[in-house]
Amino acid sequence: MLFLDWGLIDYGEAWERQQAIAARLIARKTATAGEPAEATGAGTVIFCEHPHVYTLGRRGSASNLLVDAGTLAQIGAGYYHVNRGGDITYHGPGQVVCYPVLDLERLHVSLKQYVFGLEETVIRTLRHYGVAGERLAGAPGVWIDARLPAARKICAIGVHASHYVTTHGFALNVNTDLRYYRYIHPCGFTDRGVTSLAAETGTTVDMEDIKRWLQKYFVPLADK
């Protein structure tokens, strides 16, 4: 896999670049049909941050955005309706967004296994910082105290696949300004909270450091 860091990038620009990478990977797959899977490689994993923006998944409810266009302009946030799974979520500075553009056929994993692998990548990374991330049945992503009334989401996951090539990915709250979640029902939930690694540890986390750990723990995904 090729790992890239796009730094702080507008969501729309990142989406266009991501689609272009996926299109090239699909084209190579088509051109090498019948040849060994190794001919196309596994793909590219992208890390980045976005300016304030809300994105709604293809089957999400627009009612989970709680403000109008005027308020979005006042708080300096964009809004996109995209083709990933999941409902509405927030991206912003201090959040690591990961876009793996991968050929699941090459990796020999199903979409369900892939999402499990993304969760595992984040859970292992959080463990390095002394935070216990968990899964919550029926709610993809990574949670803290998942089975308690105080359950709070630290990482959202929403993916899309075409020709077994993935786009979109996960968003891990690191030093995120959680006040921006007040303007949505995060992932469609009204009875669960959100958190960040900084909130859980009580300290600001180095963004470059956590990206290095995410990359380190991403590698076992290929062995599933």
Active site residues: 187
CA–CA distance from 120 to each of 113, 127, 178, 224 (Å)?
10, 10, 23, 11
CA 216, CA 221: separation in Å to the nearest integer? 11
Q: Residue 90, exposed/middle/buried by CB under 10 A (0-12, 13-18, 19+)?
A: buried
> Which DSSP string do the residues of 175-216 spell out, in sequence order?
S--GGGGGGB-GGG-SS-EE--HHHHHTSPPPHHHHHHHHHH
